Amino acid sequence: MVRHNNELRQFSYTVSHNLRAPVARLLGLTDLFKRSKPETDREEIAEMIRKSGRELDVILKDLNQIIDLRNDLYQVREKYF
């Protein structure tokens, strides 16, 4: 049980750390987008926002895979005990 709680704590730390960077970037870019005037700057910033959104999507998909794999492992362990 202690091991499981430690793994859960480590996973939650990893999740919060991995999600924080793209979210902070998105917030900064949207603020920059609001303040920018020339259309060329806005298009470049919009592309960076799209890129950050795609990176966030990849992170979320990866985290879902990790959760699925861990659930599968725990189900296998339960069958043997």
pLDDT digits 0-9 by tens, 2-35: 777 787 788 888 888 888 999 999 999 999 999 9
Q: What is the pTM of this model?
A: 0.70
Cα–Cα distance, 57 to 62 (Å, whole number): 9
> Phi, psi at residue 58, to the nearest 5°?
-65, -45
Q: Please, how many CA atoms are within 13 Å of residue 29, restricted to the half-sphere of its CB?
A: 19
3-state secondary structure of 38: coil
- The answer as to CATH 2.60.40 being correct for domain 2-80 is no
Q: Is the pLDDT of residue 74 over 80?
A: no
Chain segment 29-53, per-residue pLDDT in tens: 999 999 988 887 899 999 999 999 9
Cα–Cα distance, 38 to 23 (Å, whole number): 25
Cα–Cα distance, 53 to 23 (Å, whole number): 9
